[in-house]
Amino acid sequence: MFKKTLTSVLAVFVILGGSYFYFSSQQADQVYIEQVIDGDTVKTAAGDSIRLLGIDTPEINWENNSFEFYAEEARNFTTEKLLDKNVLLEFDQEKEDHYGRILAYIYLDGDNFNQRLLEEGYASLMIVNPNDKYKEQFKSAVEMAREERKGIWSQVLQAEKSYPVISYQKAEEFIGQQLVVEGRIVDTAATESINYLNFSKNYQQTLSLVIFNRDLNKFDYQPAEFLKGKEIKVFGKIELYEGSPQIVVDDPYDILIID
Which residue in 34, 59, 72, 239 is the catalytic one? 59
| Sign of the torsion formed by the C-alpha atoms of 252, 151, 119 and 76 | positive
Tell whether the torsion through CA atoms of 187, 188, 189 and 193 is positive or negative: positive
* Whether 231 is catalytic: no
**101 a catalytic residue:** yes
167, 117, 119, 112: which is closest to 134 by C-alpha?
112
Write the DSSP symbol of residue 169.
Answer: G
**Residue of 75, 101, 116, 146 marked active site:** 101
Q: Could you confirm whether 120 is annotated as catalytic?
A: no
Q: Strand 54-56 to strand 255-257: parallel, antiparallel, or no bridges (unpaired)?
A: unpaired
CA angle 184, 178, 209 (to 5 degrees): 35
Measure the CA angle with vertex 225, ends 197 and 53; round to 5°.
95
Phi, psi of 219 (to 5 degrees): -100, 145
How many Å apart are CA 185 and CA 198, to the nearest integer? 6
Q: Which residues contact 114 (CB under 8 A, 6 or more apart)?
A: 52, 53, 54, 55, 105, 106, 123, 134, 138
The catalytic residue positions are: 51, 59, 101
